Amino acid sequence: MGLPHWLTRTISPQPIAIHFGSDVVRMMQIRDKKECALQRAVEVASPDSESIKIAFDSFKGKRCVVSIGSENVLVQHIRVSLAADEAHIREALMKFDSAWGDAEIRQICVTTTGGSSNPRQEILCAGVSRRVTGEVVQVIESAGAEVIAVTFPLYASIRAFDRLYRRDGDEKITSLLIDMDEDSSIVMIAHGANCVFAHRIGTQCNQEVAQQETQPVTTPSLTPISSPSTDSFERREENTPRGLHGIESTNGAVDASIEIELEQCIRHHDALFPERAVDRVIFTGKGASETSRCAAIANHLGIAGFVADPAAWIQGAEGCAAGPSWTTVAGICIRYTEKAA
């Protein structure tokens, strides 16, 4: 009786990772957990069920992990009392953006501030509108597929570095990651694999977060891709992590507003974690293909700069899934690989 089930688990294909970018939908599937070899990678210009249904014909299976595009992701730091409940947290978030009222909210990092005399907590919250999540899931299900998890780049990018870029001792490394999507960019700062700060470039970086008197949020349907306790894995021993390509310094110009925001992000992080300085800046997303701009940003910050390329660690991805624009979907793909039995 147990044999048919064992055979099903053994030959079951890996989930298909689907990332809804602002200009295209990127889809990727790998063959197995151990080899990390590419099964298929496709870009779909129109994010509709018909075009995605056609793309599914080149993949194996119909189970999918879906990533919501950065332009639809809400990120915000708020400072509240230690006794804050869900209602007060949502209320504090809505002071920054009314869209938080209909968002599924996940707490990513909680940091105690204020010292013993006035203890409070600063919470990094991320969320996506339930309407947006529903629309994306409907597109996939209308194409005849099954959505097994929904996430967003904030988790996927961090997880990609967790599993694939870190070496021995890198849990002590503080990385500034800039995910440069087509229409939206998100700045993340990670201690090893754990994201402790996030901010969307193009909006005001509030160093004085909400002070509302606002118990942690209950777990929503959004599935996290990274957590403080990560799976064990074999760390790479090369001098430079595979998939990170160093960029040369340049005297190119950087938009003044971007300079200011990035400096504010680093100052905010340094105020929360004075013992952790940012060691490196890593660029992902389609915009990271413009390496001269990335080099100018790294040069302005005075931090070693790297551009990510998942083709360096996914066999067979060199021709069709190379470059930093594939980092998010590759991170999702790796995170959701499953054992055969």
Show the domains of the chain with their CATH numbers.
2-335 (3.30.420.380)
Tens digit of pLDDT for each residue in 19-46?
998 778 999 999 876 778 899 999 998 7
Are 303 and 280 spatial neighbours (Cβ–Cβ below 8 Å)?
Answer: yes
Tens digit of pLDDT for each residue in 286-304?
889 999 999 999 999 999 9
Are 44 and 89 spatial neighbours (Cβ–Cβ below 8 Å)?
Answer: no
Residues 161-169 have a mean pLDDT of 56
Residue 203 CB contacts under 8 Å (≥ 6 apart), including other chains: none
Backbone angles phi, psi at 54, to 5 degrees: -65, -40
- What residue type is 130 in one-letter code? R
Q: Which helix (H) or strand (E) holds 153?
A: helix 153-164
- Which residue has 């349907």 as its token pair? 221
Q: How far is CA 177 from the centre of its chain?
A: 9
How does DSSP classify residue 315? B
- On the question of pLDDT at 102 being above 90, the answer is yes
Tens digit of pLDDT for each residue in 64-94?
999 988 888 899 999 999 889 999 999 999 9
Query: The tokens of 314 are what?
Result: 């996914």
Phi-psi region of 31 (alpha: psi -120 to 50; beta: other; left: phi over 0): alpha
Taking the alpha carbons of 42, 46, 49, 53 in that order, is the dihedral positive or negative?
negative
3-state secondary structure of 62: coil
Phi-psi region of 252 (alpha: psi -120 to 50; beta: other; left: phi over 0): beta
pLDDT at site 181? 77
pLDDT at site 27? 95
Residues 200-213 have a mean pLDDT of 50
DSSP-derived secondary structure for 211-265: -----PPPP-SPPPS--SSPPP---B-SSS-TTEEE---------HHHHHHHHHH
Pairing of β 73-81 and β 16-20: unpaired
Q: What is the pTM of this model?
A: 0.81
- What residue type is 182 in one-letter code? E
Q: Which of 143, 138, 144, 146 shows the shortest CA–CA distance to 49?
A: 143
